[in-house]
Structure formats: C-alpha cells, structure tokens
Amino acid sequence: MKICTLSSGSKGNCTYVESGDQAVLIDQGLSLRELEKRAAGVGLDLGKVRLIAVTHEHTDHIKGVQAFCDKYGVKAFISPISCAAAYQKYAITSVLETSAFDLGTAVGDMYITPFRVHHDAAYTVGFQIEDGKKTLCTATDLGYVTAAAGKRMSRADAVLLESNHDKQMLQNGKYPYSLKVRIAGKEGHLSNDDAADVGVKLVQAGVKRIILAHLSQDNNTPATAYNTVVSAMTAAHITQGRDVKVDVAFQFEPSLLTEIV
C-alpha cells in the first residue's frame, strides 16, 4: 500500500492511497485543477482512483468531491448523515450505495472501514484501509481520541494523525475566544500535545509510521508539531527513524508517494 498526502489543513484535504492498480482518495477539498496539478507534480495517476471516501461535510474535505466524481466517473463513500448535511452547499449526487455505511466497502485489494470520531460536524469518521498486507488509519478533525478509535489505530502500520495546533500559539493568537474554545474543545481538533500522547501509545502498540496532519496555518508550524511529537517519543525511549518514522503532511505541497512498510 502506498500513500501520498496531496493537501492537509483547513484550506483543503486530500490523501491518495493506492494498492496494486487501484486507488482511493480520502476527502477531496481542493479544486479539480489544483488537485490535478499536484497529482501530476508527483507522478500520480488519478485514473487509478475508484472511490472517494469522505470523512465529513466540512468544506475543506468535501468541496471538490462531486467535481472529481463527475470527471473520473467514480462514487463517493459518504455517510448518509454527512451527505444530507452537505446537501445545500455541496450536493453529492454520485454516492456509493451500501447496505450500511459503517460496515465499510471494498475497492480492489483494499477494504475501507469507517470509524466514528468526535468533531463538530453532523457525523465524522476516520478510515481504516487494509489490503491484506498493510493497514492505514486516518484520523484528522477530532477533538479527542476515544478508546475505540485508539484501539483501531493501534492495530495499524501507519496512521495519518491530526496535530492541529500548538496550545500556546492558539491561546495567544488572534482567533476570537469562541473559535479558540471550539478548536481546543472535545469536538474540535487535536493539539500537538494530544498527537504526542496518542503517537507514543501508537508506537508502543507497534505503529511504524505516523504522518502528522491538518496542521493549522495560524496556530502551528511543521517544526513545532514535529518537535513536540518527537520529543515526547524520545522521552518514552522511542527512536525516530528506528522505531517509527514521523512525517508532516503539508497544506500547499504534496508529499511523495511512499510505500507503507
């Protein structure tokens, strides 16, 4: 299984996951033009994409879903609640029909299972993607990690994990008080400290790769997120590069397509 983060953060999210000759997108919050430009830049073949799995109805995750479905003839795997909540602004008409969203769906060698996370959308999920060899979990846009979500992530080889903000930067920053409360709350976004706590537990459970994601442009920097997580790991006697590989997903730059090992 291979992964490429095409965009990550409140200005748009899209992750490409490939196994064999088929691929899925997790969310599509970019314009089609921007997505195609980034994909071409790192040599991705978007023609391999068979499905877009949508985590929730916020603009930064859903804006470009229908345009992609129209052009590439694929369906969106989205919960009925998110789909209904998005209808006024982002009507998704190419919806994969399933007997029950929560049971997941197969795409080639991959099986995609949603799991519930706490966030202030109508319904928000992370995704577990297994291809019989490796397992990836994605968990961005969540206020905290429930025991069930943590258990699922701990069984993965790689986790795309939210590391949204530095608590101090958020507190001292320019956001209105209500927004600060929302972001830091239980239905908001994971801080770097939260990602560090969760990250340590995941590595101790056997996770070999953590990609820090959905970093705030205003209340975080890639170096701050990375250093917070890696310092916590070092304190727990976890060596970055040996026990785990920690990367950061960027907002404006795609990553390379890399194998999950």
Q: Which of 18, 27, 60, 194 binds Zn ion (CB under 5 A)?
A: 60
Q: Are 39 and 46 in contact (CB under 8 A)?
A: yes
141 binds Zn ion (CB under 5 A): yes
Residue with the CB atom nearest Zn ion in the bound state: 58
Q: Which is nearer to Zn ion, 69 or 139 (CB)?
A: 139
State which residue, 60 or 130, has the beta carbon closest to Zn ion.
Answer: 60
Residue 58 interacting with Zn ion (CB under 5 A): yes
Q: How far is the CB of 150 from Zn ion (least distance, A)?
A: 19
* Structure token digits, residue 228: 């917070």
Provide the minimum distance between the beta carbon of 15 and Zn ion in the complex, in angstroms, as a whole number. Answer: 12
Confirm or reject binding of residue 247 to Zn ion (CB under 5 A). no
Instruction: Choose the binding region for Zn ion from 67-75, 105-113, 125-133, 137-145 (rule: CB under 5 A).
Output: 137-145
Smallest gap from residue 221 Cβ to Zn ion (A): 18
**CB 124, min distance to Zn ion, A:** 7
Contact 249, 8 (CB under 8 A): yes
Nearer to Zn ion, 50 or 58 (CB): 58
How is residue 157 annotated by DSSP? S
Considering only the C-alpha atoms of the chain, give the largest distance between any 2 of them, rounded to a whole number of Å.
50
Q: Given the complex with Zn ion, which of 130 and 141 has the nearer CB atom?
A: 141
| Cβ atoms 196, 228 nearer than 8 A | yes
User: What DSSP string runs through 202-256?
Assistant: HHHHT--EEEEE---SSS--HHHHHHHHHHHHHHTT--BTTTBEEEE--SSS---
Which one of the spans 43-51, 135-143, 217-225, 236-244 is the region binding Zn ion (CB under 5 A)?
Answer: 135-143
Nearest to 6 by CA among 260, 259, 261, 257: 257
| Residue 152 binding Zn ion, by CB under 5 A | no
Minimum gap (Å) between residue 3 Cβ and Zn ion: 18
Residue 57 as a binder of Zn ion (CB under 5 A): the answer is no
What is the DSSP track for 25-88?
EE---S-HHHHHHHHHHTT--GGGEEEEE---SSHHHHTTHHHHHHHHT-EEE--HHHHHHHTT
Residue whose CB is less far from Zn ion, 145 or 233: 145
For Zn ion, which is the closer residue by CB, 35 or 203? Answer: 35
CA-based nearest residue to 64, from 76, 81, 48: 76
Contact positions vs Zn ion (CB under 5 A): 58, 60, 141
